Structure 1
């Protein structure tokens, strides 16, 4: 029997469906529309229900969070109708699983303590910039280049250092990234993906609440509810100390520590980009040993 109440997980599933629907144009899914003005952005509810082969009443209940047990077939039909990619489809399944309370227990709390051998690994990766971040993008540990690469980040107190906060609130971020708008879009999408499956987690709600209040850019992107995974990517930095350099980034899961990611930037040896990394590593004013201190690993100020 369908549930009449609206739980937070059901509401999150409904928000995601609505966001994807309002951002899917009729033309994108093969519908022919008239020349009149459409009051609804994207697809109408009845159009999506028809495309997915479900009743409009059932779809409305899903979007309002009152129906929390859609079958896998319904989810697949909605994903096809909305032209979701694999990551978006998987996110839809995860939200539906939580709405239906298929998840027997909450996931483990994210760890913030960076283990000693991981700090040693960060040092061994020099001159490649490297750092460890939490699922909410708090910077937990780094080598010298990993901190210096984000120009001005070391001006902030330890517990304030967060890559999402940096992108939206630090005055140097727009100058550092030539494609700043692309960077912030990917950042919000990654946070959305995490928050969708842990909507009440304090580490996420605190950061999101702060950015919603302080950054109109963040608020606009958050409302779009786009999700994406982490992929290797090339990033260009206009660094005030070493000039313009383009690096390949590689995020990696840290085994045995929930929610932590290791980020590494590399450049081909012998290239100007690699020379810039060497210069950045040598000229950074902050000693690398700071990344190994307990206060840095836990986010507490000394």
Structure 2
């Protein structure tokens, strides 16, 4: 059976809204969570039968103007609105083709050019493809620093390391939802989603909300067992010659306790490496 990603997304986002969220009065006993199909159709200015067919997968090719109207009716933010367009096929050329997990020598050299900042490269599935020494030290509490989503949801260290774990979990699931719109047939992404859904009830619950999150500049609040609390900001840069890869650089405010903690972490890691050598 053909998967109905568009219909699933519409149903989930409709269920997340209440009449008061869209300025509608609620009358009588409501047998469904969130808005009724009829209410979404009225808000979007489309025929209710047509909207029903979209949810059921019997209609899969709405126009861009209908998608915009549905996005407004469902109160979607920019990331979710763009995701809806991708699911409807109204953003030509937006999806990724085959990607690579190879990090170029020049990019690896660039990583090492940030000795005072954790820097690493991730792909669409949040696999960590490469990192500098300080990134390795930062992620040392984890069993494996291989995939950020696995580390958040499946590694026991995740709930201690990410002190605002609920926010981190929500953002991570939303990033993977966006990735599923960009590369829906990627085998690695499908395998990761299967593992997370099977082994983490928290991820399964967040995945079912169909929330979408793109890049954010929110601060990272971390707790490292060797140096204590860290508050770090970050920047993410698209790697032009490897679509889907991003260079992520964390940094602490100059002169802050977090900057001192990062410096200490780098020193401890370097000492440990020399001792091991």
**Same fold, judged at TM 0.5 (above):** yes
SS in 2 for 1:255: coil
Secondary structure, aligned partner of 1:245 = strand
Kindly provide the CA deviation profile for residues 210-255 of structure 1, in whole angstroms up to 9, marking residues without a partner as x: 0111000000000000001112221111110111110101111111
Matched with 2:173 is 188
Post-superposition CA distance 1:118-141 (Å, at most 9, x none)? 111111111101111111011110
The reply on whether 1:24 has 2:17 as its aligned counterpart is: yes
Task: Give, in whole Å, the separation in 2 of the partners of 1:287 and 1:196.
Answer: 41
Alignment match, 2:89: 97
Unaligned runs of 5+ in 2: none
Shift of 1:85: 1.6
Shift of 1:287: 5.2
Tell me if structure 2 keeps the 8 A contact 1:16–1:225.
Answer: yes
Q: How does 1:142-161 map to 2 (within 5 A)?
A: 142-153=131-142, 155-156=143-144, 161=146
The answer to whether the Cα contact below 8 Å between 2:141 and 2:224 also exists between their aligned partners in 1 is no
Cα distance in 2 for residues equivalent to 1:63 and 1:139: 36
For 2:125 and 2:133, how far apart are their aligned partners in 1?
22
Paired position in structure 2 for 1:80 = 72
- What displacement does 1:106 show? 6.7
2:26 is matched with 33
Q: What TM-score does the superposition give when structure 1 sets the normalisation length?
A: 0.85
Deviates more, 1:83-92 or 1:185-194: 83-92
**Corresponding position of 2:149:** 164
Taking the aligned partners of 1:68 and 1:232, their CA distance within structure 2 comes to 34
2:56 corresponds to? 64
Structure 1 segments of 4 or more deviating over 6 A?
A: none
Alignment partner of 1:229: what SS?
A: coil
Show the counterpart of 1:292.
none
Matched-pair contact (CA < 8 Å) for 1:168–1:218: yes
Q: How far off is 1:268 after superposition?
A: 2.2
Distance of 1:92 and 1:149 partners within structure 2: 36
The alpha-carbon deviation at position 162 of structure 1 amounts to 0.6
* 3-state SS in 1 of match to 2:219: strand
Residue-pair matches, total: 273
State the TM-score, normalized to the length of structure 2: 0.93
CA distance in 2, matches of 1:151, 1:21: 41
Say if 1:144 and 1:287, in contact at 8 Å, map to a contact too.
no
Partner of 1:234: 219
1:140 is paired with a residue whose SS is strand
SS in 1 for 2:112: helix
Task: Show the 5 A alignment for 1:220-299.
Answer: 220-284=205-269
Distance 1:86 1:125 in 2: 32
Q: Which has the higher contact order (CA 8 A, sep 6+)?
A: 1
1:151/1:240 contact within 8 Å kept:
no
Q: Which residue of 1 aligns with 2:199?
A: 214
1:205–1:58 CA distance, 2 compared to 1 (3 A): same
Distance 1:126 1:265 in 2: 11
- Quick one: distance in 2 between partners of 1:77 and 1:283? 55
Residue 71 (structure 1) shift: 1.4
